[in-house]
């Protein structure tokens, strides 16, 4: 049976763990050659080895997307070595939560740099290649998927700056979607709820304990659940555009 993404190339940021790694494997299983972009080369090499062992094609791209030149070079390398770029999944992100009054402004800067600037730099570098791919792809379409959060829909105490970044991702995604609609590049946003990843390990101890208490009776989403959402979006026929997908854990109320 023909795989739905056969002959295409996908780039996944934040691919060294969690949602990014799961998404890369899912897209590879559909036949896409995948470029794995993150800072942790050892993790990327391990994932690439697993994808190749399953018969897929994987390119390791070590880069810091908060540096515009690195982001641009990373995208350029993907196109040079894999020949094209049909799908981009902007997954890299940080979550630091704390009351505004005593939050670390360094944490704020880090979130703004990764969640906003990194996403912008990769998107800006990738869009010309996505436009070209949409013109000559047998599928007749290219895809850009931004991974946001329920925090892009629901503001809560202690998450103000994280909310700021994710509301921003949602607004940027919708505006870009409208720009690229006539050119057959679909732009989508996925808003995961509580996912069992290492993201919460970045939190300081007291905040982490509060989050763990809040979610202790909840069966959290798994990274593969969000990978499934991305896979669904990018494998639709060109007549179908899934602009937004909200995926919460079954017991999650916020």
Q: Where are the domains of the chain?
A: 9-247
User: What number of other Cβ atoms are within 10 A of residue 83's Cβ?
Assistant: 10
User: What number of other Cβ atoms are within 10 A of residue 32's Cβ?
Assistant: 28
CATH T-level assignment (fold) for domain 9-247: Rossmann fold (3.40.50)
pTM of the model: 0.94
Instruction: Dihedral sign for Cα 25, 124, 150, 231, please.
Output: negative
pLDDT digits (tens, 9 = 90+) for 39-89: 999 999 999 999 999 999 999 999 999 999 999 999 999 999 999 999 999
Please give the structure tokens belonging to residue 16. 């060294």
pLDDT digits (tens, 9 = 90+) for 4-48: 999 999 999 999 999 999 999 999 999 999 999 999 999 999 999
* Catalytic residue selected from 96, 162, 167, 232: 162
CA–CA distance, 223 with 19 (Å, rounded to integer) = 4
Which H or E run includes 7? none
162 is catalytic: yes
């Amino acid at each position: 049976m023909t795989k739905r993404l056969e002959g295409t190339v996908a780039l996944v940021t934040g691919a060294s763990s969690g949602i990014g790694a799961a998404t890369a494997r899912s897209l590879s299983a559909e036949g896409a050659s995948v470029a794995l972009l993150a800072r942790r080369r050892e993790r990327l090499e391990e994932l690439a080895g697993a994808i190749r062992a399953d018969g897929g094609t994987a390119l390791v791209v070590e880069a810091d997307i908060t540096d515009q030149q690195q982001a641009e070079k990373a995208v350029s390398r993907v196109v040079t070595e894999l020949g094209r770029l049909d799908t981009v999944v902007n997954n890299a992100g940080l979550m630091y939560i704390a009351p505004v009054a005593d939050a670390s402004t360094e944490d704020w800067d880090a979130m703004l740099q990764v969640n906003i600037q990194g996403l912008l730099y990769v998107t800006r570098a990738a869009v010309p290649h996505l436009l070209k791919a949409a013109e000559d792809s047998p599928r007749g379409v290219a895809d850009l998927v931004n991974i946001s959060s329920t925090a892009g829909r629901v503001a809560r105490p202690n998450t103000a700056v994280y909310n700021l970044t994710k509301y921003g991702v949602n607004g940027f995604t919708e505006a870009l979607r409208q720009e690229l609609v006539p050119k057959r590049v679909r732009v989508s946003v996925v808003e995961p709820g509580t996912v069992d990843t290492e993201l919460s390990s970045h939190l300081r101890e007291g905040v982490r304990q509060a989050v763990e208490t809040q979610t202790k009776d909840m069966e959290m989403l798994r990274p593969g659940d969000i990978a499934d959402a991305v896979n669904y979006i990018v494998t639709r026929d060109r007549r179908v555009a899934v602009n937004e997908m909200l995926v919460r854990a079954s017991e999650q109320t916020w």
